[in-house]
Structure 1
Amino acid sequence: MRWNRLFTLVFTLSFLSCNPVKSNDAFLFTLINGLTTTTSANSFTIGPSSKINVTSASVVLTYGTSQTFGIALGVVPTSNVTINLAFDTSKLSIDGNVTTPLTAHLTFTPANYNTPQTITLASLATTPTTSNLNISSSSLDTNFNSVSGSISIRHRVMFYTGSSFLFREDEAIASLTPYGTFPYNSCSVNPSLPSGLSLHPTTCVISGTPTDSQSSSSYTVTATDGTNTDTETISIRIDTTVYKVFVTASTYNGNLQGAAANGPAGADAKCNADANKPSTGNFKAMLTTSGGARRACDGTANCTNAAENIDWVFQFGRNYIRSSDSAFLFTPNSAGILPASGTEFTTSPYTMSHAFDSGTLKTYWTALSTSPTAQWRVASAAATYNCSNWTSSAATAPASDGGRVGNSNATNYTAFRNGASGVSCASLNHLVCVEY
């Protein structure tokens, strides 16, 4: 299982001029995680002897995972600009390349200068370390020729499956086992963990039964082998209104009804019989129908009125966690949803902190709409979009007209509905099961 932490980086490269600073004296290269536009004040200092001043936030990469970023120019060039990348190939790969430098790896034109182009960074380091990503530009536009800067990268090799955890008071937690690639043998935590929880002194496993509710607090775990040291900071909150969510171990075709009264009831039975179900609690499947058996929103997209719900799985005021490790997922709004615009959740605090599953990508049946005017409503333009209310396993032709699914590794609306099309109702997909 891997966990990805998200980072946004901005560094500003300023060109020295003896004249008053003009708009084209500052060049903004923006590394954008997930291609989400970063808002940053375009402030800079022109030093008396420096040609370029660089301000940057550090990147943190985790061994065994990759992160995709975007690079864009902040002002329009008068000629094409190529981006060159140099890095330590023993510690970092870029777009799968372990050859440095990557000359003219990206090219910007006056027409696309502010459209992000992606690069994927992956850490190759197996012990805690740092490295630098050196970025330079070449162009016939003298303002962009030989401009360069450096971003510091921290390589993490010890990590948990989440960054924020929510535990149910007086219930034994699912032990938090870190993943690491160096043989650490000594662990410590600061400050001390909440009452009832403990850190194993050599494995860094967190376990126990929390006894008192508390608001979210940060804890830094340090692991060392005597030579190398790595740290991981997590937050822990303890509450009583905690409900678990899991992705089934088994997969199913679009006929979920079985011997039950309808498709959702059959899916619920599958949730409660699944190998991944926790030892306590009853669960419902997170999916919708056009027949009125289960839905979130009806008359409006991103509804706020719980009266639109029918047997919906999420409820206002409840805190939902991933059952495998107690990673906090979200607390929904008054209609049991997270309001979305496009693929992003737009209304704080109704956002998603972690994905439904921390392992490899899985898809699961949902039948939710992706239309901007119908988000959280059932995708019902064709009966096959919800596999005839989850009673049909007939092969769908074309397959894209089949049941709608979500992605287990997403923390935006893609977790509930992935893409513009579906998959055949004869295909096998998981279910997301929610405690009620």
Structure 2
Amino acid sequence: MYKRMVRMISFLLALGFLSCNPVNGRDEYLLTLVNGMNPTTAVTTSFTIGTSSKINVTSASVILYFGTPQLFGFSLVSPPTANVTLAFTNSKLNAIGNLTFTPANYSTIQTITLTSNTQLMESSSLSVTATSADTNYSGVSGSITINHRNVNIVYTGSSFIFKEDDSAPTLNPVLGFPITNCSVAPALPNGLSLNTSTCVISGTPTDSQAGTTYTITATDGTNTDTENITIRITPTVYRIFITATSYDGNLQGAAANGPAGADLKCNSDANTPGTGTYKAMLTDGTNRNACSTDNCGGGAGENIDWVIQSGRIYIRANDAASLFTANASGIINAPAANMLSQSFASGTTKYFWTGFAQTNYWQEATAQTTNSCNNWTTNANTATASEGGRVGASNTTDYTAFRSGSGRSCDTFYYILCVEQ
């Protein structure tokens, strides 16, 4: 009997499934494993350690797929002298209600529903805490490992434009589950390759081609997901990026004016690509301006040292995601739901100085001189924030990508959007 008990303890310790608080020195675990993964099936046996075990659980750990809720069961090992309430905490799961066991139903398995709210492949802990007037159960706690999975493959964009004979930015997908193989159909353009273990696309495309849709398929042998992306290859593209460094409204520095100072910052930033010259996409109405009428009604003649040029194809610098092709006036007509094919950046929203008006599209905001932080030469606090410098947003595709919300005080820090020339 003693040897069997030692073997049982060793087995549970090898599982390493719970981190629990001991009641006394002889306790090994406060939560013990219920035999069988299906908590709705009657349990005929359970693994326990002596008489000190408190709570039975369905399993040592859970593999939980996003979009597929899963039941998980609990019961008490011994009858309590008062009701026992179990509470659950985990920020990666949808809210879980409490379970209450009574002296009459303590051994009956009750279930909770585990629903993942993260699409990332990561682990979290489901904390379990008991409260009761029964001192044998009061304060008992432990945790269960949740391994989150998502049968999902997502790239940083859906449409990419690569420059012919130029090393393409590596396309790294986010995978929500561990894969065993990745494939693509049809075959990628000459010079590009797919890593069949990671779904990463890389290489140097050698031939121009029109936009072509490719289906990437990722599998773990049982589960499969696909992602469609479009790849176009052209002799010339122009890159746009958001600076790694943020700045207050005084962008001039040692330069002749505010826009020129912002240009210097674009070309010395950590995010600047290794080649090309860049200018800041902002306006002060005098030294740099896109339009003097809505959407440049007078044509490109309204441009002053403007950074976007007619007919050019613009892409995100970091991943070559397609952004827009400029019209004859060096802009994209506003307003429109999808002025951009994709946002200026994926991930956390970043705001960058622009100075544009809210509804006088592509014109300088001129209600107050501080709408462009005095032509990007002052970092003074703007008493009324709404009178401060105007900004654009990195995560939108309509006109708010160029003018988002009210003004921002000129002593606050925002980024710069930089355009290749």
Verify same fold: TM over 0.5.
yes
Asked if 1 retains the 8 angstrom alpha-carbon contact of 2:151 and 2:177, the reply is no
Q: 1:156 Cα shift?
A: 5.7
Q: Which residue of 1 aligns with 2:420?
A: 435
Q: Which residue of 2 aligns with 1:423?
A: 408
Bigger Cα Rg: 2
Asked if 1 retains the 8 angstrom alpha-carbon contact of 2:151 and 2:176, the reply is no
Distance 1:357 1:125, change over 3 A: closer
Is 1:294 the counterpart of 2:279? The answer is no
Among candidates 367, 371, 393, match of residue 355 of structure 2 = 367
Asked if 2 retains the 8 angstrom alpha-carbon contact of 1:302 and 1:340, the reply is no
Structure 1 CA distance for aligned equivalents of residues 344 and 297 of structure 2: 22
Structure 2 CA distance for aligned equivalents of residues 432 and 329 of structure 1: 13
* Superposed CA offset, 1:104-139 (max 9, x none): xxxxxxxxxxxxxxxxxx965669xxxxxxxxxxxx
SS of 1:403's partner is coil
SS of 2:371's partner is helix
Q: Which residue of 1 aligns with 2:301?
A: 307
**Aligned residue type for 1:415:** A
Q: 1:359 Cα shift?
A: 2.2
Distance 1:392 1:424, change over 3 A: same
Q: Which residue of 1 aligns with 2:100?
A: none
Between 1:303-312 and 1:212-221, the stretch displaced more is 303-312
Correspondence list, 1:246-395, <5 A = 246-290=241-285, 292-303=286-297, 305-341=299-335, 344=337, 351-371=339-359, 374-395=360-381
Asked if 1 retains the 8 angstrom alpha-carbon contact of 2:151 and 2:224, the reply is no
**Aligned residue type for 2:327:** N
Q: 1:400 Cα shift?
A: 1.6
Q: Which residue of 1 aligns with 2:76?
A: none
Q: Which residue of 2 aligns with 1:212?
A: 207
Structure 1 CA distance for aligned equivalents of residues 345 and 119 of structure 2: 25
Q: 1:263 Cα shift?
A: 0.3
Is 1:226 the counterpart of 2:212? The answer is no
Distance 1:405 1:424, change over 3 A: same
Asked if 2 retains the 8 angstrom alpha-carbon contact of 1:89 and 1:99, the reply is no
Q: Which has the higher strand share?
A: 1
Distance 1:300 1:229, change over 3 A: closer
Q: 1:319 Cα shift?
A: 0.3
**Aligned residue type for 2:303:** N
Structure 2 CA distance for aligned equivalents of residues 386 and 306 of structure 1: 22
Asked if 2 retains the 8 angstrom alpha-carbon contact of 1:384 and 1:396, the reply is yes
**Aligned residue type for 2:329:** A
Structure 2 CA distance for aligned equivalents of residues 125 and 203 of structure 1: 17
Asked if 2 retains the 8 angstrom alpha-carbon contact of 1:362 and 1:409, the reply is yes
**Aligned residue type for 1:236:** I
Distance 1:304 1:193, change over 3 A: farther
Structure 1 CA distance for aligned equivalents of residues 385 and 151 of structure 2: 41
Gaps of 5+ in 2: 1-64, 72-91, 97-115, 122-149
SS of 2:374's partner is helix
SS of 1:270's partner is helix
Structure 2 CA distance for aligned equivalents of residues 233 and 304 of structure 1: 40
Q: Which residue of 2 aligns with 1:161?
A: 156
Asked if 1 retains the 8 angstrom alpha-carbon contact of 2:259 and 2:288, the reply is yes
SS of 2:305's partner is coil
Structure 2 CA distance for aligned equivalents of residues 214 and 415 of structure 1: 29
**Aligned residue type for 2:153:** M
Correspondence list, 1:20-35, <5 A = none
Q: 1:98 Cα shift?
A: 4.1
**Aligned residue type for 2:364:** V
Distance 1:125 1:363, change over 3 A: closer
Q: 1:88 Cα shift?
A: 6.5
Q: 1:338 Cα shift?
A: 1.1
Distance 1:90 1:224, change over 3 A: same
Q: Which residue of 2 aligns with 1:34?
A: none
Q: 1:90 Cα shift?
A: 5.7
Q: Which residue of 2 aligns with 1:197?
A: 192
SS of 2:294's partner is coil
Structure 1 CA distance for aligned equivalents of residues 337 and 184 of structure 2: 35
Identity %: 54
Q: 1:304 Cα shift?
A: 5.9
Distance 1:395 1:338, change over 3 A: same
SS of 1:344's partner is coil
**Aligned residue type for 1:331:** T
Structure 2 CA distance for aligned equivalents of residues 250 and 90 of structure 1: 44
Q: Which residue of 1 aligns with 2:230?
A: 235
Asked if 2 retains the 8 angstrom alpha-carbon contact of 1:242 and 1:321, the reply is yes
SS of 1:166's partner is strand
What value does the CA root-mean-square deviation take over the aligned residues?
2.5
Aligned residues: 292
Structure 2 CA distance for aligned equivalents of residues 329 and 270 of structure 1: 22
Structure 2 CA distance for aligned equivalents of residues 172 and 316 of structure 1: 25
Asked if 1 retains the 8 angstrom alpha-carbon contact of 2:341 and 2:397, the reply is yes
Asked if 1 retains the 8 angstrom alpha-carbon contact of 2:296 and 2:302, the reply is no
SS of 1:388's partner is helix
Q: Which residue of 2 aligns with 1:19?
A: none
Q: TM-score, normalised by structure 2?
A: 0.66
Structure 1 CA distance for aligned equivalents of residues 234 and 307 of structure 2: 20
Asked if 1 retains the 8 angstrom alpha-carbon contact of 2:290 and 2:296, the reply is no
Q: 1:225 Cα shift?
A: 1.2
Q: Which residue of 1 aligns with 2:389?
A: 403
Correspondence list, 1:16-95, <5 A = none
